[in-house]
Chain A
Amino acid sequence: MSGPSFGFFGRCLEIDLTSAAVRVRPLDADLIADYIGGRGLATRLFCDEADPAADPLEPGNVVVIAASPLVGTNAPTAARGHMVFRSPLSGLIGTSNSGGSWGFAFKATGHDALVIKGKAPEPVWIDITPAGAAIHPAGKLWGGDIHATTDALTSGFGPADRPRVLCIGPAGENLVRFADVANDRNRVYGRGGPGAVWGSKNLKAVRVSGKEKIGIRDLERYKSGYDQAFHLLRQAPVTKRLLRELGTAGLVELINVIGMLPRRNFQDCVHRDEDLERISGETIARTILERAAGCHLCPIGCQRRTRITRTGSPDESGEGPEYETVVLMGPVCDVYDLAAITTANYRCNELGLDTISFGGTVACAMELAEAGALPPGFDGGRGLRFGNAAVLERLAVDVAHRRGPGDLLAEGSWRLAESCGRPEASMSVKRMEIPAYDPRASFTQALGYMTSPSGACHLRGGYAVSLAFFGGAKEIPRFSLLQSPIAIRNMQNIGILQDSLGVCRFTGYAFGSDPWSRMLSGATGMDFSVARLEEIANRIADLERLFNLAAGAVPADDALPARFAESPVVVAGEKRIVSREAQERMRRDYYQVRGWDENGRPAAGPRPPRRPDPTEGRRP
Chain B
Amino acid sequence: MKEPVRTTMTVRVRFFAAFRQTFGGKERIFELEEGTTLGRLLERLGDSPARRDEIFAAGEAGKPPALHPHVVVMINGENASARGGWSGELRSGDTVAVFPLMGGG
Interface residues of A (CB under 8 A from B): 236-238, 242-243, 245-251, 253-254, 257-259, 281-282, 302, 322-324, 435-437, 458-459, 463, 465-466, 468-472, 475, 477, 505-506, 508-509, 571-573
Contact = CB atoms under 8 A, between A and B. Distances in A.
Interface residues of B, number: 25
Contacts of A248: 103-105
A505 B16 CA distance: 23
B81 interface: yes
B5 interface: no
B80 interface: yes
A237 B77 contact: no
B76 A572 contact: yes
Contacts of A572: 76-78
Given A250-B17, A282-B17, A463 B105 contact: yes
A320 to B, nearest CB: 13
A559 to B, nearest CB: 22
B102 A258 contact: no
Given A251-B104, A302-B104, A323-B105, A471 B80 contact: yes
A596 to B, nearest CB: 27
Given A322-B104, A465-B105, 11 more contacts: A238-B70, A238-B103, A245-B18, A247-B104, A257-B16, A257-B97, A469-B72, A470-B101, A475-B79, A509-B103, A573-B76
Contacts of A571: 77
A245 B17 CA distance: 9
B23 interface: no
Contacts, number: 94
Contact of A458 (B20, B82, B105): B105
B85 interface: yes
Contacts of A475: 79, 81
A472 B78 CA distance: 12
Given A469-B72, A472-B81, A571-B77, A459 B105 contact: yes
A471 B105 contact: no
A247 B105 CA distance: 10
B99 interface: yes
B100 interface: yes
29 contacts: A237-B100, A238-B103, A242-B18, A243-B103, A243-B104, A245-B18, A246-B17, A246-B102, A247-B104, A253-B16, A254-B16, A257-B16, A258-B74, A258-B77, A258-B78, A281-B17, A322-B104, A323-B104, A324-B105, A469-B72, A469-B102, A471-B73, A471-B81, A472-B85, A475-B79, A506-B103, A571-B77, A573-B76, A573-B77
